[in-house]
Structure 1
């Protein structure tokens, strides 16, 4: 496989498809059983050479009838455009893959898998795929590659785990931890039909401090534009017939709460699953609160200050002392690979901040804003007339 050539092609394709997506919580799935592309979920395919992606036979097939003999590369990438993931979200994507080609000769290969790309710079990307090459240098098995603008392309060296050269049907997965800014790549050598048995390929740090066990290179993430997910096929010098290489059962999930409420107080800002830190004030006579977290993430575990609680159910009373009280709300996927933590700072006996305005245009006293009676002396009065406030050296308390 020609790494540098592949890098250039992949990045060009991702620049092409990187615009126009809705930045929201990444979610959704497609089993491709309808044999028809859903335009609301998938964007325009980025195509190079003789490659194509076709929904047929209840799956997404990668095909190459006539390989490109000029550049030697064929590729097709289909972006998920229903939603994208913000940089702050814990998410993962999974895909069943099948690769039954048997290339022969130097730099002949074919692959199918997942791609995650930064919307801030399309050169910042990571993919994991089921790869089958035609010689010992290329190898056969699972391949995950990190690319970054900072590194000027693919971050080398990358390896293909041994002992999986005979695998033709499998599953691949990419997950992201926004706190550590680490992507983790997984594979399952038997696919999803018998339930997942994920094996870790490795982890890849894309933040300034690295931290990945496999490779690290910082991505441009300062604008918090989020990430886009795609399904892609790639090949060199290889005819790929219908049914030889395909993807199935695409699933994107964000590990987030769908709702969060307290028995007393109003959360600020207003709850949104992508926001993890909240503040609220309660009166001094509120000595405890209960917390009710909810999630639509299948089989997730929820906790409040470490104690398990069912989705949509109030927690046990959380005692409050005067002042700041930090309450931790945790959510974890059933397999334990994904975790996320929300925090509610409940301030007991806090002072309301002075705010508000009055333009007096209604020519009527607003009893919700102004104390009564006015502080008057002698024969003075205060009147709202003609859209203004006439003050004869006296005060009305706001």
Structure 2
């Protein structure tokens, strides 16, 4: 259970919210093909021995040595904060060839910009009986919304997507395996407490509410070798 990531959201989101230079949705993409990480558009953070390293055209999540109960590393998107009154989606290619039984994985992390304790996670745990694509839901810093929801197609990776509907205020979590494959819905989450597979009222302002977008990797007491868990082809865009 990602308790330290939630704590990081509580203490960090308020600061990074003001770091952005565009407080609304600005379409953004990154294929991580450059020699170095784009530190203008990404703000790095984490805890323990975890790292996100841009190498060979992807982001590699690695943990050479465990230095905490939960080692994690994240990149927060700086130039764009999608709004509560906008239709948008985030996509990310993820891969996980480890057999850590749900104890490590890369994914997308989205939080209420006004309250980092209001958070959702969407991760790839790879193959195996505790693998698959899993969505987690947090309200006021607590896992009090309900159990995680996942789907395990028995693959080591794919593309994950979180989309937001400004009318229903619902996030939809989906994945696909292959660029031409159909999307498989995993779960829905209501941010205003109405509808969805899971729900909580995040009390977001109807006109000015914003979301913080992060991509990350985490592990609970597991060594993660370089190249075994990767992130690639990030996209944030409006849904028309």
The answer to whether TM tops 0.5 is yes
Return the offset for 1:239: 1.1
Map of 1:32 onto structure 2: 32
Rg (Cα) greater in structure: 1
- Secondary structure of the 1:19 match is helix
Map of 1:86 onto structure 2: 83
Pairing 1:125–2:119 present? yes
Give the TM-score normalised by the residue count of structure 2: 0.90
Query: For residues 4-83 of structure 1, what are the structure 2 equivalents within 5 Å?
Result: 4=3, 7-9=6-8, 11-12=10-11, 14-15=13-14, 17-21=16-20, 22-43=22-43, 45-68=44-67, 71-83=68-80
Match for residue 139 of structure 2 among 145, 148, 151: 148
Judging changes above 3 Å, is the alpha-carbon distance between structure 1 residues 77 and 186 closer, same or farther for their aligned structure 2 residues?
same
Judging changes above 3 Å, is the alpha-carbon distance between structure 1 residues 26 and 124 closer, same or farther for their aligned structure 2 residues?
farther
Q: Do the aligned residues in 2 keep the contact of 1:203 with 1:215 (CA within 8 Å)? A: yes
Q: Distance in 2 between matches of 1:49 and 1:121?
A: 24
- Unpaired runs of 5+ residues, structure 1, are 256-330, 332-398
Map of 1:239 onto structure 2: 223
Q: Distance in 2 between matches of 1:102 and 1:152?
A: 27
Query: For residues 313-392 of structure 1, what are the structure 2 equivalents within 5 Å?
Result: 331=240
Judging changes above 3 Å, is the alpha-carbon distance between structure 1 residues 233 and 242 closer, same or farther for their aligned structure 2 residues?
same
Count residues with an aligned counterpart.
238
Of Structure 1 and Structure 2, which has the larger fraction of its residues in strand? 2
Q: Do the aligned residues in 2 keep the contact of 1:116 with 1:230 (CA within 8 Å)? A: yes
Return the offset for 1:236: 1.1
- Unpaired runs of 5+ residues, structure 2, are none
Give the TM-score normalised by the residue count of structure 1: 0.56
Match for residue 159 of structure 1 among 129, 149, 154: 149
Return the offset for 1:50: 0.4
Map of 1:252 onto structure 2: 236
Match for residue 180 of structure 1 among 164, 168, 193: 168
Query: Considering only aligned residues, what root-mean-square deviation do their CA atoms show, in Å?
Result: 2.2
Return the offset for 1:252: 0.6
- Secondary structure of the 1:8 match is helix
Return the offset for 1:25: 2.1
- Secondary structure of the 2:7 match is helix
